[in-house]
């Protein structure tokens, strides 16, 4: 990607009384960083502001690129978003790796979804029917075939579905690559509010009182949007924290490779996944709770280890090297809110558990909003950031 020197343009604009910055992106998680890169690719100047880049949900995420496995009943608006973003991921991963000179941990290996009991197997078989009806590749296979493909699977796996189109990326490595290529465009500071002239956003005010003037502002701070003065109330009100634990386990040399692909499972109705990394670790997750408890809960850790051991007994022999809990920003219908919200102000938030998967498409749609491109008609209704209007008290 050819980088344009926007510094001279910014200095000229400032001298003329214009904005100091072209686009200010608030939030340096995977969505904010990927959208900033896309804006640069389109020739826009970018400043990303975040007090602690890649410290939120992006840091905890396992990185499953699973447009098929993430299909659930009664969420049809999400299906085309997931499929299109999954289609874009190979190109995005290759481009970011080339531009940054870093590996991003993209692996185009398949996924096995395993059942922990007969009821789970029936559920997965029915869901595979829906996935195939949507044109997705989903092949139910017997437990013996699943164990032939992944010998670490134990007798607790009673059946499986093979998903050849579900892949993975390492979010920490991918975000590190984005930070590398964005370089000094990322500013470590906390945004306290959006500044306005009339109804037009003119920049942001930092916690220390500094004001950054920008031609456009993109709010991509996830749940942090609710702490920013001047953020659209209908967006802030639509976001809810969904907490969850994720574990990282180290596989001893004698057991490597433990797994060659992502293993997802349903055990007594509870979802679990194991994502192997090239460095010999396995990411194990994830619980999902809306109890307002932000820390790592012992019950969540115990549940994950118990369900993972049912499918892969050797989990008991792995070293537990990290426990982490983060809150994912959910919306009422679990689809993101992406688009222009007012003059000079756009938003890209509310990705829930699909943030990594939807990054490839979300970055493009967020950049469309900032640059004034018309919304893609295939996705406009599903991602409309104003679709959850704030209720107002009416006076009698």
Domain range list for the chain: 7-58+173-239+332-383, 111-164+240-330
What is the structure's pLDDT at 390? 74
Supply φ then ψ for residue 241, to 5 degrees: -85, 125
What is the structure's pLDDT at 389? 87
Taking the model in full, what pTM does it have? 0.94
Q: What architecture is the 111-164+240-330 domain classified under in CATH?
A: 2-Layer Sandwich (3.30)
Q: Average pLDDT, stretch 85-111?
A: 98
CA dist 269 and 391 (Å) reads: 35
Structure token digits, residue 183: 């370089």
Question: Does residue 14 register a pLDDT over 70?
Answer: no
The pLDDT tens digits of the residues spanning 19-59 come to 899 999 999 999 999 999 999 999 999 999 999 999 999 99
What is the structure's pLDDT at 309? 98
CA dist 44 and 22 (Å) reads: 7
User: Are the folds of 7-58+173-239+332-383 and 111-164+240-330 the same?
Assistant: no
What percentage of the chain has pLDDT greater than the value 70?
94
Confidence of residue 286 (pLDDT cuts 50, 70, 90): confident
Residues with Cβ within 8 Å of residue 396, at least 6 apart in sequence: none
Q: What is the Rg, in whole angstroms, of the alpha carbon atoms belonging to the chain?
A: 22
What percentage of the chain has pLDDT greater than the value 90?
91
Q: What is the CB-side half-sphere exposure of residue 181 using CA atoms within 13 A?
A: 28
Confidence of residue 177 (pLDDT cuts 50, 70, 90): very high
The pLDDT tens digits of the residues spanning 289-335 come to 999 999 999 999 999 999 999 999 999 999 999 999 999 999 999 99
Hey, CA dihedral for 217, 101, 361, 274, is it positive or negative?
negative
Q: Which residues pair with 204 in a beta bridge?
A: 194, 212
Q: Average pLDDT, stretch 172-195?
A: 99
Confidence of residue 15 (pLDDT cuts 50, 70, 90): very low
Measured from the Cβ of residue 75, the count of other Cβ atoms closer than 10 Å reads 14
What is the structure's pLDDT at 146? 99
On average, the pLDDT of the chain sits at 94
CA dist 248 and 246 (Å) reads: 7
Residue 258 CA: distances (Å) to CA of 210, 225, 304? 51, 40, 18
The pLDDT tens digits of the residues spanning 322-359 come to 999 999 999 999 999 999 999 999 999 999 999 999 99
Q: Which fold has domain 7-58+173-239+332-383?
A: FAD/NAD(P)-binding domain (3.50.50)
The pLDDT tens digits of the residues spanning 112-171 come to 999 999 999 999 999 999 999 999 999 999 999 999 999 999 999 999 999 999 999 999
Q: Which residues pair with 122 in a beta bridge?
A: none
């Amino acid at each position: 990607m050819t980088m344009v020197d926007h510094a001279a343009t910014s200095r000229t604009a400032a001298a003329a009384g214009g904005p100091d910055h072209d686009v200010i992106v608030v939030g340096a998680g995977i969505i904010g960083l990927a959208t900033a890169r896309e804006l640069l690719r389109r020739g826009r100047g970018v400043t990303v502001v975040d007090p602690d880049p890649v410290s939120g949900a992006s840091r905890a995420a396992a990185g499953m690129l699973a447009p098929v496995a993430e299909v659930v009943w009664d969420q049809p608006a999400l299906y085309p978003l997931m499929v299109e973003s999954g289609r874009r991921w190979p190109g995005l991963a290759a481009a970011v790796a080339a531009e940054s000179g870093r590996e991003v941990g993209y692996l185009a290996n398949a996924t096995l979804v395993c059942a922990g009991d007969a009821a789970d197997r029936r559920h997965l078989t029915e869901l595979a029917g829906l996935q195939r009806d949507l044109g997705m590749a989903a092949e139910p296979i017997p437990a013996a075939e699943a164990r032939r493909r992944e010998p670490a699977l134990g007798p607790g796996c009673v059946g499986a579905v093979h998903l050849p189109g579900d892949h993975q990326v390492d979010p920490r490595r991918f975000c590190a690559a984005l930070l590398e290529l964005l370089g000094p465009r990322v500013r470590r500071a906390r945004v306290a509010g959006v500044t306005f002239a009339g109804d037009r956003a003119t920049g942001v005010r930092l916690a220390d009182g500094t004001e950054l003037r920008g031609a456009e502002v993109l709010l991509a701070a996830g749940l942090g949007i609710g702490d920013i003065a001047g953020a659209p109330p209908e967006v802030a009100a639509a976001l809810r924290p969904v907490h969850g634990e994720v574990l990282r386990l180290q596989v001893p040399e004698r057991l490597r490779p433990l797994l060659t692909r992502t293993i997802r499972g349903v055990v007594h109705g509870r979802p679990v996944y194991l994502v192997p990394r090239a460095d010999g670790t396995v990411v194990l997750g994830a619980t999902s709770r809306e109890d307002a408890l932000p820390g790592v809960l012992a019950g969540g850790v115990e549940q994950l280890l118990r369900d993972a051991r049912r499918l892969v007994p050797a989990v008991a022999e792995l070293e537990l090297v990290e426990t982490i809990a983060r809150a994912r920003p959910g919306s009422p219908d679990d689809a993101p809110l992406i688009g222009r919200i007012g003059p000079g102000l756009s938003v890209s938030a509310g990705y829930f558990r699909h943030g990594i998967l939807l990054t490839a498409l979300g970055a493009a749609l967020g950049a469309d909003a900032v640059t004034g491109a018309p919304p893609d008609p295939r996705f406009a209704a599903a991602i409309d950031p104003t679709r959850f209007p704030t209720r107002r008290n009416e006076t009698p």
